[in-house]
Amino acid sequence: MTRMATMTAAQRRDQARREYDAFIRSCPTNQLLDRISDKWVSLVVSALAAGSMRYSDLGRKIAGVSPKMLTQTLRALERDGIVARTVTPSVPVRVDYELTPLGTSLSCLLSAVKDWAELHIEQVNEAREQYDAEEH
Amino acid sequence: MTRMATMTAAQRRDQARREYDAFIRSCPTNQLLDRISDKWVSLVVSALAAGSMRYSDLGRKIAGVSPKMLTQTLRALERDGIVARTVTPSVPVRVDYELTPLGTSLSCLLSAVKDWAELHIEQVNEAREQYDAEEH
DNA sequence: CTGCATCCTGTAGGATACTG
DNA sequence: CAGTATCCTACAGGATGCAG
């Protein structure tokens, strides 16, 4: 009989995925990619790059964001030390958000990404047109 | 009676989201962020940074990836002109993938991201610990 | 004003099986 | 070897309503 101890391809991949996941979670680069790749994060950071803003101002400036995602994004960024949250206990309460030094640094990295994007987007678009023109 | 023409908050946000989505799709930076933020893209690009590889080699090197996602990722990168696909019609067929010049350039950008991550991850971790230690 | 809790849906993506 | 096709599920994230 065939060795039952032999793992199936799926089992092997499953185990590999577990190890991989553990690796990913401990990998700074991927942690950061997860962070900046978030749809709303880059928008919040670039909005705040211009200066501190209130919660509702962010909601208006970032068109189409739901309160839930805005809060979720801001909490995550606050936890990571990217943004600072300041509560003014007036009535009604006023909450301001601003970039920390670390946040400003991240904002610079996003600028680098932006520069690369604008420099190469045309090349990408050409590649896409050419690819789509061929038959696949 | 109140004006029925007045939009609810949800309706306004919905319209805003539509406009926003259109904007996003036309924005190079966000297109690129969508691209490099993909879980597998960064892994494929960095794997290929070392040189050309076959399909199954990539599958082994990138632990835990399913054939489906590997193919999907490679197709997207090929379409964008990031990787080149070379078929050698032997039996069995052999397919090699390698970075294009554009792909190499992207690989450099990813290195910049990596450098930033490794430089600041400790600061982020400290911020997280401090945040988690406080009550919320 | 600034959120949080709940519900609900679309979809990304994994498992599995099959083909040239 | 290098994929493709199908199914299925988990989770991101939007709508809504309520609270401090």
Q: pLDDT digit string (tens) for A16-36?
A: 777 777 777 788 888 888 888
Determine the longest span between alpha carbons in chain B, in angstroms.
77
Q: Report, in ranges, which bases of strand C sit under 7 Å from a protein C-beta.
A: 1-6, 13-17, 20
Tally of structural domains, chain A: 1
Chain A residue numbers touching B126 (CB-CB < 8 A): 81
CA gap B36, B46 in Å, rounded = 11
Asked whether residue B4 is domain-assigned, the answer is no
Asked whether residue A14 is domain-assigned, the answer is no
User: Within a 10 A sphere around the Cβ of A52, how many other Cβ atoms?
Assistant: 13
Query: Mean per-residue pLDDT for A51-61?
Result: 96
- What tokens were used for B56? 């199954």
Strand D neighbours among B 38-57, CB < 7 A: 54-57
Is residue A70 pLDDT above 60, yes or no? yes
Asked whether residue B7 is domain-assigned, the answer is no
The better pLDDT of the pair A124, B135 is held by A124
Nucleotide nearest to A87 (CA to C1'): C2
Asked whether residue A84 is domain-assigned, the answer is yes
Asked whether residue A27 is domain-assigned, the answer is yes
Mean of the per-residue pLDDT values for chain A?
89
**Whether A103 contacts A48, CB under 8 Å:** yes
Asked whether residue A3 is domain-assigned, the answer is no
**C-alpha atoms less than 13 angstroms from C-alpha of A74 in its C-beta half-sphere:** 24
Domain span at residue B92 reads: 19-133
Q: Are strands B94-99 and A94-99 parallel, antiparallel or unpaired?
A: unpaired
Is residue A3 pLDDT above 60, yes or no? no
List chain B pLDDT tens, one digit each, 136 residues. 444 456 677 677 777 778 777 777 788 888 888 888 888 999 999 999 999 999 999 999 998 899 999 999 999 999 999 999 999 999 999 999 999 999 999 999 999 999 999 999 999 999 999 999 988 7
Nearest to A36 by CA among B74, B92, B34, B58: B34
- Give me the residue from A37, A80, A127 closest to B37, CB to CB: A37
Query: Nearest-5° angle of CA B103, CA B109, CA B113?
Result: 140
Q: Report, in ranges, which bases of strand D sit under 7 Å from a protein C-beta.
A: 1-6, 13-17, 20
Asked whether residue B34 is domain-assigned, the answer is yes
- What tokens were used for B135? 């009550």
Asked whether residue A36 is domain-assigned, the answer is yes
What is the distance in angstroms measured between the alpha-carbon CA of A10 and the sugar C1' of C16? 9
Is residue A8 pLDDT above 60, yes or no? yes
- What pLDDT was estimated at residue B131? 95
Q: Which residues contact B108 (CB under 8 A, 6 or more apart)?
A: none
What is the distance in angstroms measured between the alpha-carbon CA of B64 and the sugar C1' of D7? 20
CATH number at residue A62: 1.10.10.10
User: Within a 10 A sphere around the Cβ of B134, how many other Cβ atoms?
Assistant: 6
CA gap B81, B103 in Å, rounded = 7
* pTM (predicted TM-score): 0.88
